[in-house]
A and B are shown apart, each in its own frame.
Chain A
Amino acid sequence: MVTSRPFEGVEELILFEDVSYSYSPGRYAIEHINLSIDKGEVVAILGENGAGKTTLIKHINGLLKPQSGFVIVSGMNTKDTTVATLARHVGLVFQNPDHQLFAETVEKEIMFALTNFNFPEDEISRRVDWALKEFGLLEYKDRPPFLLSGGERKRLALASVLCYDPQIVILDEPTTGQDYRQKLHLASLIKKLNSESKTVVVVTHDIEFAADFIPRSIIMSKGRVIADGDSEELLTNRELLMSASLIPPQLVELSWDLALNPPTIHFDEIVSSVKKLLEGKKA
């Protein structure tokens, strides 16, 4: 568990201090959340449906305000800050792109936020150009977003947020409907954002993706944070995964099935362990 820290002089970019929120009386969607995420961190938020993941991230961009406790984002208390102001700092890419996309063409979709944030003309065209290329959407630039495939719409939603360069990027289930290559692309994009000192929060059911690419995991269950730490340590903990209804990554299953100690999420380590097992046979 994360220990709570005093508010004075915090260095954290995102800070939750004893935050609770309830949509209907008597049932908390999130309860007593304490959490801190530093500048430049890449964090996965894992947990079953209804665990409170979406409620939690809506507190980061201020769509929801804590009913008790407080949330500080980039030094601003979200209770005193408008969603519009926070939006410039926090880019949220929704799980379902259809909740986000509305423009007539792919190009206009990407331009929307840039125009809204008053970027200069030449900067807008430079950024739109970058986004179309980066996300493989150049050939669809004049198409209506709803004619794109599910995976392509997902990429467009991502492009239209990343183009305005927010300091914090929140990705809600970014790997759904994405194939393997696009997952690798997404991973390298996260790495790149990270190298630019951006903070990336990835809400995901894709435990394989978290195990392969995200160093820190926060595991939620029934509205609470039940674990927060190194991904390898958490994702190889059988009791923890079970209590959060998470299915272990395939390499962890394999570690357990082969009784490897300690179990691992790393491909190379499994390969060398199995190699040792095989050499044992020959000897």
Chain B
Amino acid sequence: MPIVEIRSLSYTYPGSTKPTLTNVNLSVEEGEFILLTGPSGCGKTTLCRCLNGLIPNSYGGEFNGQVIVDGLVTTEHPVYEIAQHVGLVFQNPENELFCTSVEREVAFGPENLALPREEVRKRVEESLAMVGISHLRDKSPEELSGGEQQKVAIAALLAMKPKILVLDEPTANLDPASAQSVLNTLLKLNEESGVTMILVEHRLEMVAHMAHRCAILNEGRLVLVGKPEDVLYSDEAEAIGIGIPKVVQVTKALGINKMTGKCPLTSWSLADLLRVWKN
């Protein structure tokens, strides 16, 4: 059974006349890593809010269809209950951090689940270590850089041990090295702990090769879903105007994908392909 199921989902914000999402259908299997992308304003953030029930439970608006996460129909359960199954990481971490220290911030979720003190402590330690911020535990989130704050937000969610993480451009405010380390953390969480990932990201060159499937939203509709190489090498993807990775552009420009039947997504896989093919 899929862990996330979106059935004929359409949604219009209160006060708006135009739907933001139109007839979206998507099933995600447990342990999948989904990359969700599409032009700005296409409805990616709105779809994320539907996945943890913020829409429609907190936003109102006109909601049609059904979203089921980890067996819970989102319209039938409160957000706090869904939040134990789906962790949502936003673009702007400073909007969600509010405790006086990093440690307290990360402990907040598990403490609210009334877990034993030892378990809370263990989860805090693990989560801080997973994103590499154990040394920041006593700092106030306010005095951290944007990148560090985002790591705190992710650690705070990890402490809830959700089965699904939905991340809305989590690396947008990070410098490249920290972005890479956060993305590597996500990959590790997915591969080793089986956490289902739904990652919204524009910089496809950094993430395309990590995902099992890539989904493209355009004007509120899910227009392409498939293996990242199939999606990113398609003419439709090019027409929508998402940032096709340079490696894909080079490969396509020279017809290497047609000649070899291979669709590399990273520089090293293209280089390997050329090396093998040349000999």
Q: Least Cβ distance of B166 to chain A in Å? A: 15
Residue-by-residue, is A240-263 near B (CB-CB < 8 Å gives 1, otherwise 0)?
000001110111011011100000
What's the Cα separation between A179 and B39 when bound, in Å?
Answer: 5
Q: Which of B111-119, B130-138, B191-199, B244-252 contacts A (4 or more CB under 8 A)?
A: B244-252
What's the Cα separation between A122 and B241 when bound, in Å?
Answer: 37
Any A CB within 8 A of the CB of B147: yes
Q: Which 4 interchain pairs have the tightest Cβ spacing?
A: A151-B40, A257-B271, A180-B243, A247-B176
Partner of B241, one of A49, A181, A207, A278: A181
What's the Cα separation between A57 and B68 when bound, in Å?
Answer: 47
Complex contacts, A98 vs chain B, CB 8 Å: 92, 95
Any A CB within 8 A of the CB of B179: yes
Q: A253-B267, A271-B253, A281-B278 are in contact. Are A150 and B40 (CB under 8 A)?
A: yes
Contact assessment for B274 and A149 in the assembled complex, using a CB-CB cutoff below 8 Å: no
Q: A254-B270, A277-B278 are in contact. Are A176 and B246 (CB under 8 A)?
A: no
Residue-by-residue, is B220-236 near A (CB-CB < 8 Å gives 1, otherwise 0)?
00000000000000000
Any B CB within 8 A of the CB of A178: yes
Contact assessment for B177 and A180 in the assembled complex, using a CB-CB cutoff below 8 Å: no
Residue-by-residue, is A134-176 near B (CB-CB < 8 Å gives 1, otherwise 0)?
0000000000000101111000000000000000000001001
Any A CB within 8 A of the CB of B1: no
Complex contacts, B173 vs chain A, CB 8 Å: 95-96, 173, 176
Residue-by-residue, is B92-117 near A (CB-CB < 8 Å gives 1, otherwise 0)?
10110000000000000000000000
Contact assessment for B41 and A245 in the assembled complex, using a CB-CB cutoff below 8 Å: no
Contact assessment for B202 and A179 in the assembled complex, using a CB-CB cutoff below 8 Å: yes
Contact assessment for A50 and B176 in the assembled complex, using a CB-CB cutoff below 8 Å: no
Nearest neighbor of A152 in chain B, beta-carbon distance: B41
Q: A178-B40, A208-B205, A275-B254 are in contact. Are A245 and B177 (CB under 8 A)?
A: yes
Residues 190 to 209 of chain A near chain B (Cβ within 8 Å) = 205-208
Contact assessment for B202 and A48 in the assembled complex, using a CB-CB cutoff below 8 Å: no
Any A CB within 8 A of the CB of B145: yes
Q: Least Cβ distance of A139 to chain B in Å? A: 10
A–B Cβ pairs within 8 angstroms, 24 of them: A48-B178, A149-B41, A150-B169, A176-B173, A177-B172, A179-B242, A182-B39, A183-B243, A205-B174, A207-B176, A208-B246, A247-B180, A250-B267, A254-B246, A257-B267, A258-B271, A267-B249, A270-B246, A271-B250, A275-B254, A278-B254, A278-B274, A278-B278, A281-B277
Any B CB within 8 A of the CB of A91: no
User: Interface residues, chain A, CB within 8 Å of chain B?
Assistant: 47-51, 95-96, 98, 147, 149-152, 173, 176-183, 205-208, 245-247, 249-251, 253-254, 256-258, 267, 270-271, 274-275, 277-278, 280-281
Q: A254-B267, A257-B270 are in contact. Are A267 and B250 (CB under 8 A)?
A: yes
Q: Least Cβ distance of B43 to chain A in Å? A: 9
Complex contacts, A257 vs chain B, CB 8 Å: 267-268, 270-271
Contact assessment for B147 and A49 in the assembled complex, using a CB-CB cutoff below 8 Å: yes
Residue-by-residue, is B31-73 near A (CB-CB < 8 Å gives 1, otherwise 0)?
0000000111100010000000000000000000000000000
Q: Least Cβ distance of B7 to chain A in Å? A: 25
Any A CB within 8 A of the CB of B91: yes
Contact assessment for A49 and B202 in the assembled complex, using a CB-CB cutoff below 8 Å: no
Q: Least Cβ distance of B206 to chain A in Å? A: 8
Partner of B202, one of A147, A178, A250: A178
**Interface extent on B, as a size class?**
35 or more
13 other A-B residue contacts (CB within 8 Å) besides A151-B41, A179-B242:
A48-B176, A50-B145, A176-B169, A176-B172, A178-B202, A179-B39, A179-B40, A180-B39, A205-B179, A245-B175, A246-B175, A278-B278, A281-B278
What's the Cα separation between A277 and B275 when bound, in Å?
Answer: 10
Q: Least Cβ distance of A169 to chain B in Å? A: 21
Any A CB within 8 A of the CB of B162: no
Q: Least Cβ distance of B272 to chain A in Å? A: 8
Contact assessment for A182 and B40 in the assembled complex, using a CB-CB cutoff below 8 Å: yes
Complex contacts, A182 vs chain B, CB 8 Å: 39-40
Nearest neighbor of B274 in chain A, beta-carbon distance: A277
Contact assessment for A49 and B178 in the assembled complex, using a CB-CB cutoff below 8 Å: yes
Residue-by-residue, is B1-25 near A (CB-CB < 8 Å gives 1, otherwise 0)?
0000000000001000000000000
Interface centre among A49, A178, A181, A183 (most CB of B within 10 A): A49
Interface centre among A48, A152, A246, A267 (most CB of B within 10 A): A48
What's the Cα separation between A107 and B129 when bound, in Å?
Answer: 46
What's the Cα separation between A247 and B174 when bound, in Å?
Answer: 12
Nearest neighbor of B172 in chain A, beta-carbon distance: A176
What's the Cα separation between A257 and B267 when bound, in Å?
Answer: 7
Residue-by-residue, is B114-158 near A (CB-CB < 8 Å gives 1, otherwise 0)?
000000000000000000000000000000011110000000000
Q: Least Cβ distance of A187 to chain B in Å? A: 12
